[in-house]
Amino acid sequence: MSKFQFPESIKSRPVYGTLEPRPGKAHLFVADAEGAEAILDLAAASPDLMAGAHIIYIPKGTDFTEKLRDLNPAQFYEGPTYAASVQRLRHVLENAHQGLQVYLTGTEGLMGQAQNEAMQAGIPHTAIQTEHRGSVARRMQCVHCKGITEDVITDPFVCAHCGLNLFVRDHYSRRLAAYQGVCIDAEDPGNVPEPVELYK
């Protein structure tokens, strides 16, 4: 139920896969909300993985925490927000050894930001597994004021910082972990189409 088939898009748009067990000495999972279901699926297929697993999970109002705990991962942390979890994530990455597998799942914003942390720790983005689950909301950067608006679900939307009306581009920056929002009414101020839910 939590899976969504993204339409074909331009080449900077991330493509997500399905988490697969990979051999490794340690397994780091970062997930939010329905991303828990991807971990549960993986654990059902490969229960042995959990003995070396560290799960960092942000529920975002969902109810999967007990099920994840029941998997008996070696380490488990429930964070109230992604921002609250970042220090722990960095700590894990900084102290990681060769043979660490990284699995990211849940919303695009969560996966993008965690991937960026892993890249900064020296892991190539191509070596990181991702699986989208749950909300299709996007993390958007306003190209004008550079402010980030989280969980954008309509196009166009209003920048949470500078208040400009922005349209949602598919152009995506891994380094910023965000899509690009560009002023929609620059050439005709005030002429802003009704917001439409993404992918509708």
Partner 1 sequence: MTIQFNDETFRDDYSFYNSDWAIKRFPFPFHEDSYMYAVNMEQHRGGPEGSVYEKRFDVDEHYVSEMRDRAMVLADDPLRCQSLPHMTLAGWDLLELIMVSKSEDYPDLFELHRDGNQWRWVNKPLGIDDTFTFLDETTLPYGPMEYITRQTQGDFCVLDQRDDMLWMDAGMVTTQADWSLDFDIGMNFFEWHAPVPLAHEKGIFKRALKFLLNIQQGAPARRLNWTMTVNPLLDTSPENYHIWGIQKTTLTPENIGSKQHLRVELQTFFRLPRSNALVFPIRCYLCSFQDLMTMPKWGRRLHRVVRDLPVELATYKGFIDNRPMMLDYLSQFDDGLPTSPGVWPDQETEPPLQK
Q: φ, ψ for residue 188 (rounded to 5)?
A: -155, 75
Nearer to partner 1, 23 or 126 (CB): 126
- For 127, half-sphere exposure in the C-beta direction (CA atoms, 13 angstrom radius) is 15
Euclidean distance between the first and the last CA atom of the chain, given in angstroms as a whole number: 17
Give bridge partners of residue 142 from the DSSP assignment.
181
- For 37, half-sphere exposure in the C-beta direction (CA atoms, 13 angstrom radius) is 13
Which of 121, 143, 160, 198: binder of partner 1 (CB under 8 A)?
143
The span of 31-39, 73-81, 91-99, 179-187 binding partner 1 (CB under 8 A) equals: 179-187
Q: Binding of partner 1 at residue 25 (CB under 8 A)?
A: no
Nearer to partner 1, 93 or 164 (CB): 164
d(CA 34, CA 134): 5
Question: Which residues, numbered 102-141, are part of the site for partner 1 (CB under 8 A)?
Answer: 141
Query: Smallest distance from the beta carbon of 184 to partner 1, in angstroms?
Result: 10
Which of 40, 52, 170, 198: binder of partner 1 (CB under 8 A)?
170
Q: How many CB atoms lie within 10 A of CB 58?
A: 24
Q: Binding of partner 1 at residue 12 (CB under 8 A)?
A: yes
- The footprint of partner 1 (CB under 8 A) covers 10-13, 141, 143-144, 146, 164, 169-176, 180, 182-183, 186-189
